[in-house]
A and B are shown apart, each in its own frame.
Chain A
Amino acid sequence: MTKLTRRTILRGAVNGAAVGVALPFLDLFLDGNGEALAATGQRLPVRFGTWIWGCGFIPERWIPATEGADYVMPPDLEPMAPYRKQMAILSGFDVKLDGVANKPHMTGNFGLRTGIPVPGETATAPTIDVLIGEQIGQGARFRSIELSASGIERSYSFRGAGSPNPSETSPVALYQRIFGEGFQDPNAGTFAPDPRTMVRQSVLSAVTEDRQKLARSLGAADRARLDEYFTSVRQLEQQLELQLQPPAKVENFTMPSAPAKTVVDADVEHVMVNHKLMAGLLAQALACNQTRVFNMLFSDTASNLRRSASSDTHHTLTHEEPVDPKLGYQQQVAWFAAKSMVACRDFVDALARIKEGAGTLLDNTLLLAHSDCSIAKSHAVEGIPMMVIGGGGGRIRTGFHKAGRADPVSRVGLSLQQAMGLQVERWGTKSMDTNRTVTELVA
């Protein structure tokens, strides 16, 4: 019997496909590099997040004609032009199905996030944000924060099979969760630990006391579920530990005010508003160490976005709108695809707006933006559009377009994990099992 730790549980769930051992935070990545230090002299943490938009893209309007740094910005990526240097455009990387049934809008997304194509609606292994969170997420109040801007209560962050990390769908609820009860203003100046916090800690340790005995009475599947329960308890314990220490000062932090109530639904104009509000709150939360890992679902993978008074959604349009003979593509679908890139810029703006050390929060963030498919009309999982955005604390290189030439998408996931300090040599299963990183990305 191997020692049962959170890590072995996570890794065990991959069925040995990706065995890696976490190493302590590697200082050499950070130090000797003034940009990773705040003015207070404190080391700035690196953050990781994902940003998803549903229903793919119009390739001829999104993929640059040439590779490398000097590409001409394609029309649908134009909103991202201000971040040209902080963005790597990755085209032509495939999710390999290996005969697995392509569950529309699911298989491509989970394949990209776990390196394993699945035929259903749940991942079978931890998603990449969870793997990276194990490495970089310690010491923040929340292990990760999940957000969904279109009112859909879904999340594509999975701790394992059947275990999604649920998304917040309203800016008001998000604000309450982060800046409500339990939030410590880092610049408040005074600090007095709450004795009730210590009592709560002792309650939790009482709750977990008979863990071993309990586990022995259960079958394997229920034991794994119970382990998940205890992992969640542990995360709350860590929150409480943090609350007993004075929070580290954060430069330029001002407590955000509570957002006004907004309409939460899938009308694209409402979604843009909610998304922007949530991005702003999230950026503040990242700045003051509430979390280091996040997942934003701008639109669901089968995007339910719609324009007011339209009987169609983005998703139904992808299947039912005829190709415009003059343009050569579906005009309304293209509108949503382009709008998604405007939203992506809104999100990156929120990160770039926050000054941190000599740079911005964006410089210390690694953001993977991607869709669930390439051509939504046929649910194609070949060439799913992706962007790697931000500096990742100096651990990642950007500013180019790279064509994947039908290589497995797991190369990107592997590269990001290695950049975030995970000692993992291979990732993915079968045709997606790879030990090749995208060398252009690795700093």
Chain B
Amino acid sequence: MPLITTLAGASARGYGGLVTFGGGTSYESIATVTVGSGGSSSIDFTSIPSGYQHLQIRGILRTTETGATYDGNLVRMRFNGDTGSNYTMHSVVGYGTGYFADAAANVAYMEFARTAINGNGSSMFAVAVADILDYKDTNKFKTMRTLSGTDLNGGGRVYLSSNLWRSTSAITDIKIYPSSTFSFVQYTKFGLFGIKGA
């Protein structure tokens, strides 16, 4: 039983090339957090190993927020427990009828994603992908880029951000948390991945 089959259209059938692969070794799953029925106020990846060049975080998310405030759908991030004003961010948000750009310097958090909330229709979750480059390089400040979004069949949000942590420390811990007092709901799920260098 093949893992997958591909089928090009009738005109290409018999002419399209199909290549299947065995797998790679440079992208590794490090850890996964799945929120249970009780919810969770944050997601924490700790003791992150240093055996990679870059990190990626992927996931689906939704919070207990029931309104639709600006901050209410914002999910933040910190490295190594640093709560100081050592972060800088730029972002652009498309909300279906317009867009805006935002920036903040010397803030105490990064902006990771715009999330779906309990105030949205049932079963709707946001998705997010973040890339953290050279996370263990002790000669560089750390930069992270993100892409996230949620669609509600009647609008939604597409969100891109760039964040800077002004520290040369290697990143060993990552905290992801909703703004204000909200929590992540059940089925929220994040994976941490490492990308090896040569």
Same complex origin of A and B: no
